[in-house]
Amino acid sequence: MTAHTAVPVRERSPWTLKLIPALLVCLAAPVLFVVQIVWLGWILLALAVASGILVDRRLGVAIVPRRDGGAAGAPEPSIARDVSLVAVGQFIVSLIPLHAELDNAAFVRFTLALGGAVVVPYVISRFVYRDRAIAFPWRGGGRWTWWQWAWLAGVIVLGYLILPFYFITSGVYTNWPEVTTPDLIARLFVGVGAVGIWDELFFICTVFVLLRRHFPDLTANLLQAIVFVSFLWELGYQAWGPLLTIPFAIVQGFLFLKTRSLGYVVTVHLLFDAVVFGVLVHAHNPDAASIFLI
């Protein structure tokens, strides 16, 4: 089974024909999840794959490598292949509404759609395209360094200072259901954490990793941030939320590059989401005791 050869860093350029399908597949995200014109988003996903095929043909790149290894020596990976994986994931997510709900049906709906958006591209990559483009390196580069531990503390401090002000003064906490009973609070805790883990599995380990095979790190990171932030918008991070979510998405991509550790970026995300959870509970129960300043 052949693993597809990645493009050397020096050969990756943001200004190639590959940028057309990459932009189309990423710009489909705000159409699907921000303005929510689903049919138009699906058209953009289809155009992304179609343009990727045309670009591959122009570059002489095979979409599916031959079993005898004939395509394994191609100078660059297939943009159509990688864009199609991103498109499939977005298509699956777009099949459900993303506004937060805490009933059993919503948990099943989110599990199937978000789980499918990670599993289906991975299975297609592994068994149809016969490469290992998508992976989930939990430990990455080994033990965490001092700056990684420092950043974990920094995330908690920044979340504590910024998130209560954002959620409460903007009123976006109302995008999440009221949580006034232990059962609902527990469901919110599980839901916020589960979605946070999924964010890293899809946006970083799938979208970012696939785009990075074709573009410089910064370009790939900015492209994945479009998809990341668009999803978070429909989920509830609206008003001036993008001023927070855009830097967060880009920093997460940078941290993954530096650490090669899914475990680390998930830990960062879960610490941030722990503060989000606390703020949401506080916002819906303002008369209860709180550790927050607002």
pTM for this structure?
0.90
Q: Are residues 86 and 21 in contact, defined by beta-carbon separation less than 8 angstroms?
A: no
Note whether residue 97 is domain-resident. Answer: yes
Encode pLDDT of 74-85 as tens digits: 457 899 999 999
The reported pLDDT for the residue numbered 64 is 73
Residue-wise over 81-114: b if at least 16 C-beta within 10 A, else e?
Answer: bbbbbbbbbbbbbbeeebebbbeeebeebbeebb
User: Which stretches of the chain drop beneath a pLDDT of 50?
Assistant: 1-10, 69-74
The answer to whether 24 and 18 have CB atoms below 8 angstroms apart is no
- Residue 142: inside a domain, yes or no? yes
CA dist 196 and 100 (Å) reads 13
**DSSP letter string, the chain:** -PPPPPPPGGG--SSSTTHHHHHHHHHHHHHHHTS--HHHHHHHHHHHHHHHHHHHHHHT--SS--TTSTTTT-SS--HHHHHHHHHHHHHHHTTS--S---SHHHHHHHHHHHHHHHHHHHHIIIIIS--------SSTTSS--HHHHHHHHHHHHHHHHHHHHHHHHH-GGGGS----SHHHHHHHHHHHHHHHHHHIIIIIIIIIHHHHTTS-HHHHHHHHHHHHHHHHHHHT--TTTHHHHHHHHHHHHHHHHHH--HHHHHHHHHHHHHHHHHHHHHHH-TTS--SS--
In a domain? residue 82: yes
Which pLDDT belongs to residue 72?
46
Instruction: Report if residue 2 sits inside a domain.
Output: no
pLDDT for the residue numbered 2 = 38
Residue 262 lies in a domain: yes
Residue 271 counted as domain residue: yes
Residue 152 lies inside a defined structural domain of this protein: yes
pLDDT at residue 36 in the model = 96
Tell me whether residue 292 is in a domain: no
pLDDT score recorded for residue 65: 65
Kindly give, in sequence order, each residue whose CB lies less than 8 Å from that of residue 22, ignoring residues fewer than 6 positions away.
48, 79, 83, 211, 214, 215, 223
Give residue-wise pLDDT tens across range 172-200. Answer: 999 999 999 999 999 999 999 999 999 99
For residues 223 and 217, is the Cβ–Cβ distance under 8 A? no
Domain count for the chain:
1
Domain range for 13: 9-284
Residues contacting residue 258 through CB under 8 Å, at least 6 positions apart:
none
